Structure 1
Amino acid sequence: MKTLRRCGGIGMGKRAAWSASLLAIGGIGLWAGAAQAETAAEPADAADGDIVVTGYRYLSEDTSGTTGLPLSIEAVPQSISLVNQDFLKATDIKTLGEVAQYTPGALFDGNPGGFGSVVKLRGFTSGNAIDGLNVGLLDFEPDFATLERLEIVKGPTSVVYGAANPGGIINQVTKSARADTPSYVQVLGGSWGRWRAEGQVAGALDEAGTIRAIGVAAHEEAGSFMKRVDSAKTVAYLGLDADLTDTLSGYLHGGYEHYRRTPFDGIPTLPDGSPAPVGRSFFIGSGDFNIVTRVKRINGGLNWEPSSAWSVSLKLNYLYYNTTGQSGFGFDLQPNGDFFLAAQRYTKNDQESFSAGLSSLYKLDDLGLADSFVTVAANYQDYRTQSNGLVPDLPNDMVNIFDGIPAIEAALNAAQYPGFDYALGRRLRYLTLSGQADIKVAEPLTLLGGISWSKPDVTKRSGTGPRQDFSGDSQTSLRLAATLEPVKGLNIYASYSESFQPQLFIDTAGNVLAPLSGEQYELGVKYVSSDRRLLLSGALFDVRQANQARYDQTVNLIDRYKAIGEVRHRGLELQAVGEIVRGWQVNAGLSILDPKIRKDDDPTLIGTTVTFLPKTTASLFTSYMFDNGLLLGGGARYVGSVNTAYDGSTRDIGSYTLVDASAGYSFDGWRLQLNLKNLFDKKYYINNYQTLFYGNVVGEPRSFTISVRRDF
């Protein structure tokens, strides 16, 4: 295997960097005080405190489903980014990877095998949840037409979710039917033959409006800037929301998604990490190969409020998806152009998750503790994966990249099955019991404490062998925080939290790696304007995690990993989201990350920077809606360079800045919109596997979409 390269510093000394970070966070507090004085004098836009918004609105506020706390976003002592439908539509974002590029603290970590975007939070692979319940891994790209918003919670969440990664979790909030939920139709067309038709119908099923329904359907097909690559998807979604009594409400949501795409896994690099000398549209694979994913999910819940002080919530979630098909890929490119080919057929790639959560909240106002409460919860998850496939014999498994796409495709199409087969099954089950208390001990000071207990049950089975148990001991996790609110809307907090996560990665001996364990210290500040249109936030964090998985080698086409003793990720996140003045929306963020290895069996790695993580990312998207209905917008996404080897033996993957723009016009329920991405046609690369063995993926060049939407 190739060795890994070490990268240089951020560009300033450690003390200077952290001093600048503290000054940046402190600046939010100073700005907040001045802004409060200014916004307090502004006239209200509507009576009774209602906010009238024209055009898009980027700021959403409800985070109770993610954090388990009935607090407004500025009062939650944790860094949170919310991405709502308005922002997704304004930017024409279509993948979680693009969401990450517009979210401080989030990183797009590639799309291995074409299954779906991998996102890291604070340098660690994110967890995934749907409507507040953990669902484990996601090997597909969710369609955003079925979602109200994405809640990106950064930092350990084990007190709320039990098993969780230290970086955080992405919660998908499914669409509900409310009184103001619109019905609409939309058509879209764009580069490389992309087209999409989407529609939504929502409304009440009874005269009182207590029973409401929503339905969403979409179909999309697209080519690619790469030759012989295309895709298609079909989406159907139904939701039912009901106020059953004055104290009881419930919902039932379900959907089906079908994805077909040509698999592409990147272009191998030369031994020194240099890109292969081929054009941007070069393709290693076969246009005759496809992988197909079928997704089925259903989730529901009941909320009971027997009194103004007491509430009980029950949630259930079932998710199943299966991927089948055939893929090919290349690796180990040599200076003369020779490289190896491999193929595989996914005969069964099933993932199934069932989760349930029961929680209760009691407000303590009647006990003389105003704005205080306690919560207790029990969560259960059962997560299973089964991967079966065939690895064929290739009569010609070495080709030359200069022979071109047809020669490579012909070599892959000559694959002779059955070859040899593989099978790997894994199952993770755990029960988590938790409790939290949020007590306002004095007018400016609130203390939060939480604890959870989890008992994981992890088993693995390779081929037809016996099932092996890797469960380990029960785990206890803590959460502590203190929040000061010196002026209305300004919150300064300090927090400590812990996490653990059983791993499903395996080593070269076929054993599952030991569970991840992490802890985090965070210092942050949040400010929300008096009209609740603009949110400013900043956070300093220090995350430490043991047993971080690092790619080791591939055995029988199954990637194997080693566990790093301990890594420490420190950093800064800043974000501004919302409306600056009427009609002017902004979403801006900056993240600085310093990931280091603190403990390892290899002493030469201690103190080195973790590879394949950019130290700096930044983003901005802003739009302005004029009174005549004209909308203009634009933004940029910056990702810093990443080092690819601890010892400097391979080249860094270069930094890149992508500039986007949009223009639209709204009138009489219609909206026309043009979106341009990568306006200056920047060529850039994204790594899929935290190794150059398989190479990198070329980023998408300049593209456009034109959409027409009609609301009813």
Structure 2
Amino acid sequence: MNGLCRNGYRVGSRRTRLRLAAGALAMQAALAATGAYAQEAGESGEGDAIVVSGYRYLAEDTSGTTGLPVPIEKVPQSISLVSEDFMDATDVRSLGDVAQYTPGALFDGNPGGTASIVKLRGFAAGNAIDGLNVGALDYEPDFATLERLEIVKGPTSVVYGAANPGGIINQVTKGAKANTPSHIELLGGSWDRWRLEGQVAASLNAAGTVNVIAIAAHEEAGSFMQRVDSAKTVLYAGIDAELTPGLTGYIHGGYERYRRTSFDGIPTFPDGSPAPVGRSFFIGSGDFDLVTPVVRVNGGLDWEASEALSVSLKLNYLRSNTTGESGFGFGLEDNGDFFLAINNITKSVTKAFSAGLSAVYKLDDLGLADSFVTVAANYQHYDTKQAGTIPDMPEGDVANIFDGVDAIEALFNTRTYPGIFDYSLNRGLRYFTLSTQANIKVAEPLTLLGGISWAKPDVSKQSGAAPWEDFSGNSQTSLRLAATLEPVQGLNFYLSYSESFQPQLFIDAVGDVLPPLTGEQYEAGVKYVSPDRRLLLTAAVFDVRQANQARYDQTIDLIDRYSPVGKVRHRGFELQAVGEVVQGWQVNAGFAILDPTIREDDDPTLIGKTVAFLPKSTASLYTSYEFGGGAFVGGGIRYVDSVKTDIDRATRDLPSYVLADVSAGYDFERFRVQLNVKNLFDKHYFVNNYQTLFYGNVVGEPRSVTVSLRANF
């Protein structure tokens, strides 16, 4: 479901500024395979090789996300897998970090410091846990609890019903196997960062059919920015069991608590030039913390009823609540004056419940080898409740950036309550989706895929004390069609067409809800997996078209109003190579080109213009080599092209940047020591948060160093 976002305002009298700041704050609060690849850790025969020194890519099954129980190279859609081993090797700490190492993915900022926004092929990415949609996230998931991320690019409405055309990021939670290692790890790094993490796994019976896992972690860190720090605590447990021959089940769940100083960027001058301040400059108060406790539970049953029929049931529940104060600045003028505002978030509750029932029937007995039909029913219930207060600042809501951090923080700290404005916004979304897909091998090299889903949305919204408004709209069908040709084993060419739709909660200037987002994609690609399944090469070209994209229009009665863009078209191509080139040498390389263009609109002057705040090209490379004796080295680069900040180039572009990362380590017996250096050459770069310069940009993290020691047992 789409959230509301902040937009630019004209600034007039103090009273007007307060009302506009209140409106801005209210809007801010609403934001919201199969195929074995190498031996897994512990499979050495003697049971003692439990140090994982590489990072696996190709042994995972993506059917939980795509609905297609086929190896990744045969799925007619671009998919990037990000394994736990890769995340450990690169010390990525957020979904934004992951996006910068994934072709076709873009890190689109971290509004308020709550969570990374990721776009796929230029459109907002959806979020799922174990194959079930969970809506927006108000926190950064801790990767210690995940086996991998599955980043599926392109429409997924045939699987999920309502979905954006860009794709979805699926978090696969960590389960327990008979050979799952236990470990304890201590990490220390720049700006007083430290982390203690432990994992314990065991089998509860001699047969190894009932296995448990428990994870605990605590991390605290300062920041290169003054006054900013954070802390998080993670508790997680799971049980995976073979209940009877052919019937397996799991229950995973945990509690996570995140605390971080709110920071929303440094406003730019009207022409888009950055303010002349250092990277450590902070606008806010060190006393303003956002706290988000998260509870999630998910489980499932998989039943192999026969050689032909398998059935799966999955359930998922997630609840988070963000509270605290968030300060920010906007409207920087040439003389250094800008405006301050505070959002006291008293409640920002997200509750998501999803259930999915699916079945796969293989058609081999009908003479159709390697063919199958799937049917699925999914239910999603997603609610958000947000409320807060805009406090008064009796010392004034205007600061000057040249007065320094202390003076600006002192103004923030003059806030008084009960405040000048209270807001509340409740939203509810319920979907019921029925879908079916048929994958038929019509001849030895040719496979055809067809899929259709029917979804009935129930969408409602309530602002303040006003009655609930129904934005449900009509039911919707979505299609997927594809053809795959495998002339030689391991080499697959494919063509595909897929559709998406997503209801919106935005309203226009007269109070009418915007029509749903609708999208369609044409994609052609090729995938090659080496005979030993250690290397996967993929290439894809795509043309995604979306209608009714919301664009800010004006603010009326403290509520942002939007108008729909008639149609945008995002075209491009992606290349990726992942796996082991030769023994000991592993690589994850990607390159993407994106051409986002407005194709239709009521304003004829916009037609043919390039969509702002999207880089046209990105590239990444991470590679590592393991020497004999346990030593290993690695390194990577991340490139992001310059970003246009206005459709008509009335403001300066955000410059392109290249970041370099290096790592090195040594395995000895059951221990591993590892060094990671990120942004090796200390590149100064910017990331935009809200697709407007009115609130400015966030400074990218300078060079940082971490050292970790892990003991496996």
- The equivalent of 1:57 in structure 2 is 55
- The equivalent of 1:169 in structure 2 is 168
Cα shift at 1:149: 0.2
- The equivalent of 2:404 in structure 1 is 404
- The equivalent of 2:434 in structure 1 is 433
Deviation per CA, 1:255-299, whole angstroms, max 9, x where unpaired?
Answer: 111000000000000000000011110000000110100100000
- The equivalent of 1:193 in structure 2 is 192
Give the residue type in structure 1 aligned to 2:243.
L
What is the rounded CA distance, in whole Å, between the counterparts of 1:557 and 1:138 in structure 2? 25
Deviation per CA, 1:674-695, whole angstroms, max 9, x where unpaired?
Answer: 0000000000000000000000
- The equivalent of 2:75 in structure 1 is 76
Contact kept, 8 Å, 2:263 with 2:284, in 1: the verdict is: yes
- The equivalent of 1:261 in structure 2 is 260
Cα shift at 1:245: 0.2
Cα shift at 1:46: 10
- The equivalent of 1:273 in structure 2 is 272
Q: CA 1:211–1:694 in 2, change beyond 3 Å: closer, same or farther?
A: same
Deviation per CA, 1:337-365, whole angstroms, max 9, x where unpaired?
Answer: 00000001000100100000000000000
Does residue 122 (structure 1) correspond to residue 121 (structure 2)? The answer is: yes
Deviation per CA, 1:308-351, whole angstroms, max 9, x where unpaired?
Answer: 11001000000100000001100000110000000010001001
Contact kept, 8 Å, 2:178 with 2:209, in 1: the verdict is: no
Give the residue type in structure 1 aligned to 2:534.
R
- The equivalent of 1:142 in structure 2 is 141
- The equivalent of 1:570 in structure 2 is 571
The 3-state SS of whatever aligns with 1:110 is: coil
Contact kept, 8 Å, 1:338 with 1:400, in 2: the verdict is: yes
- The equivalent of 2:365 in structure 1 is 366
- Superposition pairs for residues 584-623 of structure 1, below 5 Å? 584-623=585-624
What is the rounded CA distance, in whole Å, between the counterparts of 1:378 and 1:424 in structure 2? 30
Cα shift at 1:53: 10
Q: Which has the higher contact order (CA 8 A, sep 6+)?
A: 1
Contact kept, 8 Å, 1:539 with 1:572, in 2: the verdict is: yes
The 3-state SS of whatever aligns with 1:159 is: helix
Cα shift at 1:52: 12
Cα shift at 1:206: 1.3
Cα shift at 1:554: 5.9
The 3-state SS of whatever aligns with 1:225 is: coil
Contact kept, 8 Å, 1:250 with 1:303, in 2: the verdict is: yes
The 3-state SS of whatever aligns with 2:89 is: helix
Give the residue type in structure 1 aligned to 2:130.
D
What is the rounded CA distance, in whole Å, between the counterparts of 1:146 and 1:595 in structure 2? 35
What is the rounded CA distance, in whole Å, between the counterparts of 1:512 and 1:143 in structure 2? 36
Contact kept, 8 Å, 1:551 with 1:690, in 2: the verdict is: no
- The equivalent of 1:704 in structure 2 is 705
Cα shift at 1:555: 6.6
Q: CA 1:52–1:290 in 2, change beyond 3 Å: closer, same or farther?
A: closer
Cα shift at 1:557: 7.3
- The equivalent of 1:417 in structure 2 is 417
Structure 1, 183-192 or 391-400: larger mean CA deviation: 391-400
The 3-state SS of whatever aligns with 1:228 is: coil
Deviation per CA, 1:360-386, whole angstroms, max 9, x where unpaired?
Answer: 000000110000000000000010011
Deviation per CA, 1:69-114, whole angstroms, max 9, x where unpaired?
Answer: 1100000000000000010000000000000000000000000011
Does residue 218 (structure 1) correspond to residue 217 (structure 2)? The answer is: yes
What is the rounded CA distance, in whole Å, between the counterparts of 2:368 and 2:50 in structure 1? 35
Give the residue type in structure 2 aligned to 1:381.
Q
Cα shift at 1:702: 0.4
What is the rounded CA distance, in whole Å, between the counterparts of 2:588 and 2:252 in structure 1? 30
Does residue 457 (structure 1) correspond to residue 455 (structure 2)? The answer is: no
Contact kept, 8 Å, 2:50 with 2:670, in 1: the verdict is: no
Structure 1, 506-515 or 150-159: larger mean CA deviation: 506-515
Contact kept, 8 Å, 2:51 with 2:670, in 1: the verdict is: no
Does residue 467 (structure 1) correspond to residue 465 (structure 2)? The answer is: no
Cα shift at 1:563: 2.1
Cα shift at 1:559: 5.4
What is the rounded CA distance, in whole Å, between the counterparts of 1:355 and 1:421 in structure 2? 32
- The equivalent of 2:110 in structure 1 is 111
TM-score (norm: length of structure 2): 0.92
The 3-state SS of whatever aligns with 1:192 is: coil
The 3-state SS of whatever aligns with 2:339 is: strand
Contact kept, 8 Å, 1:424 with 1:461, in 2: the verdict is: yes
What is the rounded CA distance, in whole Å, between the counterparts of 2:44 and 2:146 in structure 1? 29
Cα shift at 1:561: 3.7
- Superposition pairs for residues 19-418 of structure 1, below 5 Å? 55-60=53-58, 61-395=60-394, 396-418=396-418
Cα shift at 1:565: 1.1
What is the rounded CA distance, in whole Å, between the counterparts of 2:294 and 2:50 in structure 1? 38
The 3-state SS of whatever aligns with 2:191 is: helix
Cα shift at 1:566: 0.6
What is the rounded CA distance, in whole Å, between the counterparts of 1:143 and 1:665 in structure 2? 25
What is the rounded CA distance, in whole Å, between the counterparts of 2:653 and 2:564 in structure 1? 23
What is the rounded CA distance, in whole Å, between the counterparts of 2:140 and 2:506 in structure 1? 21
What is the rounded CA distance, in whole Å, between the counterparts of 1:556 and 1:229 in structure 2? 34
Does residue 522 (structure 1) correspond to residue 523 (structure 2)? The answer is: yes
What is the rounded CA distance, in whole Å, between the counterparts of 2:306 and 2:509 in structure 1? 56
Cα shift at 1:556: 7.6
Cα shift at 1:602: 1.3
Cα shift at 1:503: 2.2
TM-score (norm: length of structure 1): 0.92
- The equivalent of 1:33 in structure 2 is none
Q: CA 1:556–1:170 in 2, change beyond 3 Å: closer, same or farther?
A: farther
What is the rounded CA distance, in whole Å, between the counterparts of 1:490 and 1:625 in structure 2? 28
Contact kept, 8 Å, 1:534 with 1:578, in 2: the verdict is: yes
- The equivalent of 2:479 in structure 1 is 478
Q: CA 1:46–1:224 in 2, change beyond 3 Å: closer, same or farther?
A: closer
- The equivalent of 1:539 in structure 2 is 540
Contact kept, 8 Å, 1:202 with 1:214, in 2: the verdict is: yes
Cα shift at 1:558: 6.3
Give the residue type in structure 2 aligned to 1:400.
N
The 3-state SS of whatever aligns with 1:93 is: coil
Deviation per CA, 1:149-205, whole angstroms, max 9, x where unpaired?
Answer: 000000000001110110000000000001221100001000000000001001111
Cα shift at 1:54: 6.6
Cα shift at 1:57: 2.2
Q: CA 1:553–1:708 in 2, change beyond 3 Å: closer, same or farther?
A: farther
Deviation per CA, 1:222-243, whole angstroms, max 9, x where unpaired?
Answer: 0000000000000000101110
Contact kept, 8 Å, 2:479 with 2:498, in 1: the verdict is: yes
* Uncovered stretches (5+) of structure 2, i.e. residues with no partner: 1-6, 10-36, 38-42
- The equivalent of 1:11 in structure 2 is none
The 3-state SS of whatever aligns with 1:654 is: coil
The 3-state SS of whatever aligns with 2:518 is: strand
What is the rounded CA distance, in whole Å, between the counterparts of 2:555 and 2:581 in structure 1? 51
Q: CA 1:503–1:259 in 2, change beyond 3 Å: closer, same or farther?
A: same
Give the residue type in structure 1 aligned to 2:361.
Y
Cα shift at 1:416: 1.8
Q: CA 1:157–1:189 in 2, change beyond 3 Å: closer, same or farther?
A: same
Contact kept, 8 Å, 2:50 with 2:181, in 1: the verdict is: no
The 3-state SS of whatever aligns with 2:112 is: helix
Q: CA 1:88–1:558 in 2, change beyond 3 Å: closer, same or farther?
A: farther
Contact kept, 8 Å, 1:620 with 1:637, in 2: the verdict is: yes
State the aligned residue count.
669
What is the rounded CA distance, in whole Å, between the counterparts of 2:228 and 2:694 in structure 1? 23
The 3-state SS of whatever aligns with 1:454 is: strand
Contact kept, 8 Å, 1:58 with 1:585, in 2: the verdict is: no
**Identity in percent:** 72
Q: CA 1:537–1:52 in 2, change beyond 3 Å: closer, same or farther?
A: farther
What is the rounded CA distance, in whole Å, between the counterparts of 1:223 and 1:553 in structure 2? 38
Deviation per CA, 1:535-564, whole angstroms, max 9, x where unpaired?
Answer: 000000000001112344567876554321
Q: CA 1:140–1:551 in 2, change beyond 3 Å: closer, same or farther?
A: farther
Contact kept, 8 Å, 1:54 with 1:625, in 2: the verdict is: no
- The equivalent of 2:675 in structure 1 is 674
Contact kept, 8 Å, 1:58 with 1:577, in 2: the verdict is: no
Cα shift at 1:589: 0.1
Deviation per CA, 1:497-536, whole angstroms, max 9, x where unpaired?
Answer: 0001112444556654321100000000000000000000
Give the residue type in structure 2 aligned to 1:358.
L
- The equivalent of 2:13 in structure 1 is none
Q: CA 1:276–1:555 in 2, change beyond 3 Å: closer, same or farther?
A: farther
